[in-house]
């Protein structure tokens, strides 16, 4: 079974530019999450999709961040325009339907974003 | 708001020794507590989890304990090996409902010296 795949693994952009991160969840997983770890701090929740619907986007920092999951398969996270404080590692995770009790999260390897 | 405090931030032990990482959570409604191990260049991987109706859970060399009254939970690794070196994250979640939102601690970098 292929794991959660994220692309690119690294991205270096200048302040003001746009970057789009992609996540391919494990096949058949309805739940898809985006998390972010900034500069050695805790991993913070950004949002949660159930299929193509946003279930919880309470962690999205501001309107410069846009997440989509068209068709309920892969997801993209766009940052436009990027700011210095957006630098960090962006993780995607997926799980099957149901609760975390019986369907734990599987994380991808992350995208390291550096905004200069 | 909800938060999880994790200590220590770094931990260095000799191979064969035990390692203990402690976390404290603030949301009394949390009932699911997973631990993740992150190796260099990889994403966090679930190594063990515990639900609030259980006080302790073991899986070979790793164990997790939970004190709901004090809102503390801990990860214990015995007979540490160099391959245990990684960053470890604790997390807490309200497990009920169709949500997997995890509140993570700040992470502990564990170094096991051969």
Query: Among residues B78, B108, B112, which one has the least CA distance to residue B9?
Result: B108
| Rounded CA separation A116/B15 (Å) | 40
What is the structure's pLDDT at A72?
85
- Which residues lie across from B91 on neighbouring strands? B104
Query: Quick one: pLDDT at residue A20?
Result: 98
Residue B2: per-residue pLDDT: 83
Q: Tokens 């846009």 map to which residue?
A: A66
Nearest C-alpha of chain B: how many angstroms from A34? 10
Residue B96, pLDDT above cutoff 70: no
Which of A52, A80, A45 lies closest to A64, judged by CA? Answer: A80
CB nearest B43 (choices: A98, A101, A107): A107
**Contact pairs from chain A to chain B, CB under 8 Å:** 77
Q: What is the pLDDT of residues A73-115, one digit of tens each?
A: 999 999 999 999 999 999 999 998 777 777 889 999 999 999 9
Provide the token pair at A105: 């999260």
pLDDT in tens, B19-31: 999 999 999 989 9
A85 to A14, A46, B41: CA distances (angstroms): 12, 15, 21
Binary contact (A104, B107; C-beta < 8 A): no
Q: What is the pLDDT of residue B101?
A: 87
* B62-67: strand order across its sheet: B4-7, B19-25, B72-77, B62-67, B56-59
Reduce the DSSP state of residue A32 to 3 states and report it: strand
- The token pair that represents A70 in the structure block: 């068209």
Which H or E run contains B26?
Answer: none
Residue in B with minimal Cα distance to A59: B101
Q: Report CB contact under 8 Å: B104, A4.
A: no
């Amino acid at each position: 079974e292929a794991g959660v795949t994220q692309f690119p693994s690294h991205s270096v952009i200048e302040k003001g530019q746009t970057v789009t991160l992609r996540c391919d969840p494990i096949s058949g997983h309805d739940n898809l999450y985006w998390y972010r770890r900034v500069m050695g701090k805790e991993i913070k929740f950004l949002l949660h999709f159930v299929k193509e619907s946003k279930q919880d986007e309470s962690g999205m920092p501001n309107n410069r961040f846009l997440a989509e999951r068209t068709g309920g398969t892969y997801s993209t996270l766009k940052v436009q325009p990027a700011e210095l404080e957006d630098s960090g590692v962006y993780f995607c995770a997926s799980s099957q339907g149901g609760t975390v009790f019986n369907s734990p999260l599987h994380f991808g390897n992350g995208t390291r974003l550096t905004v200069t | 708001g909800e938060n999880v405090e994790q200590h220590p931030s770094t931990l260095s032990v000799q191979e064969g020794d035990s390692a203990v990482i402690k976390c404290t959570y603030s949301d009394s409604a949390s009932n699911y507590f997973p631990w993740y191990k992150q190796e260099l260049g990889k994403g966090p991987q679930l190594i063990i989890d515990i639900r609030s109706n259980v006080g302790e859970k073991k899986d070979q060399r790793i164990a997790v304990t939970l004190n709901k009254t004090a809102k503390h939970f801990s990860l214990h690794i015995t007979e540490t090996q160099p391959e245990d070196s990684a960053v470890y994250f604790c997390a807490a979640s309200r497990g009920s409902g169709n949500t997997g939102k995890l509140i993570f601690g700040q992470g502990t970098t564990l170094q096991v010296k051969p």
